Amino acid sequence: MKKIMGYKLFTLLLFSLFCNPLYAQDLLSEYIQQGLENNIVIKQRKISFERAEYSLKVATSYFYPSISFGGSYTSGEGGRSISIPVGDLLNPVYQTLNQLTGTNDFPQINNVNESFFPNKFYDLKIQAAMPIINTDLIFNRQVQDHQVQIQEFEIELYKKELTKEIRIAYFNYLSALASIKIFESALEVALEGKRVNESLLKNDTGLKAYVLRSEGEVENIKAQQTDAKNQTENAKRYFNFLLNRNLDADINSDFNVDEKISYINSLVNYKTDVEQREELKMLEQGIEINKSLLSMNKYFWIPKVNAFVDLGAQDKDWNYGKDSRYYLYGVQLSVPIFEAFRNQYKISQSELDVEESELNYELTNNQLQLSIKSVLNNLYAAKQNYTSSQKQLEAAKSYYNLINKGYIEGLNSFIETVDARTQLTRSELLVNINKYKILIAEAQYRREVASE
């Protein structure tokens, strides 16, 4: 029995959890997550981020040795040549030796005519090269690292913007949906008024003018209702567009607006710092890039030293033996001496780039400070307007009840009831609009302070 009671209690807790207003927040969070996962622009920027990461890896790879295999085969005849008179030099000596020894052990040889063109000559080698001192590689890697950070912040920037747009689109959809219900309620009252006036006219106690006015009011509300439905469909399609799904897909509207507004109204202290904004972080990385380029230009005078080792073989007619193999190593040094003050000009340009990027950072920071204060003012105004519209709605309800009661008792005219009912509908629409303006202003505030 206790187990059964425990199971029922557990089920009740689960039910209460999903019926909790926080479930509505989770619902919107799920929509936001779906939009972030399906968005095409984010996928494109992730590709740019991965490309920047590979560029960083390429810049890092220059610090390691590079090994390559190469070879050549060359053969030719004719052209310039050099004559080597080995026969003229050695034949007299050989002839004398043959006479002294009484033998022919020392044959006569011909002169040699050696062409400058190699004939059937090959050269195959494996070469390893590695930079020993090269400041350009160091600063290039720093630049690529900052580029990776910029691409990452660009992704986060677009995510924050998309999150804000999804929230605003969802609230606009809920607002349009609520306005339909307001017009439906107003239409029911207008139809009832028309029915009453038609009944009174049949009983010869009403006026034809009141029936015509009732019909006009009904058609006017129907037209407004049609506009509201059209706005709702447009808001629905735009929201689904942001989520990159079927434009006519259903949207769950189970969102506790009043609970969210109560939470917003309970907040007293609002953050006004913008240090976490991705725009500033990107500009900071831009400043660091320009500083790295400035340092690279300033260190132009540092020599560049590279080392290499060649292991190979070279010979004629594809012969290969002990004498064909060789190795060769060396160190290369490059020191700039004079380049017509080109490096000094580059340093001056880089200094201007750093100064300009720092000014851009300052300007953007001031713009963001102005923006967050404007958004906060909009939020305060939205809260105040919502409170004011609620009071107007209470007054409009009381006024309508009094006028409608007077009309039933014959103290007020039908025109006065129509006016009171129109005023009530407008007040209900105003409350609905101002209610969602608070949520929209809060979504914009969260974006300004780079909040999730």
* Mean pLDDT for back-to-back runs of 10 residues, the chain (452 residues): 42 39 66 92 92 93 93 82 79 82 83 77 93 93 94 93 94 92 85 78 74 83 91 94 93 88 80 86 95 93 93 90 90 90 92 95 94 92 92 91 82 81 89 92 88 70
Inter-residue contact 77 to 115 (CB < 8 Å): yes
Give me the residues paired with residue 334 across strands.
Answer: 304
Pairwise CA distance, residues 51 & 49, whole Å: 5
Q: Looking at residue 20, what is its pLDDT?
A: 43
Q: What is the pTM of this model?
A: 0.80
**How does 256-289 read in b/e, with b if 16+ C-beta sit within 10 Å?**
bbeebbeebeeeeeeeeebeebbbbbbbbbbbbb
| Lookup result for tokens 């990461």 | 53
Q: Looking at residue 99, what is its pLDDT?
A: 82
Q: What angle in degrees, to the nearest 10, is found between the helix axes of 414-448 and 208-242? A: 10
**How does 391-421 read in b/e, with b if 16+ C-beta sit within 10 Å?**
ebbeebeebbeebbeebeeeebebebbbebb
Q: Looking at residue 1, what is its pLDDT?
A: 42
Q: Looking at residue 132, what is its pLDDT?
A: 93
Q: Looking at residue 395, what is its pLDDT?
A: 93
CATH number of 20-74+133-305+339-448: 1.20.1600.10
Pairing of strands 304-316, 81-84: unpaired
Domain ranges of the chain: 20-74+133-305+339-448, 85-114
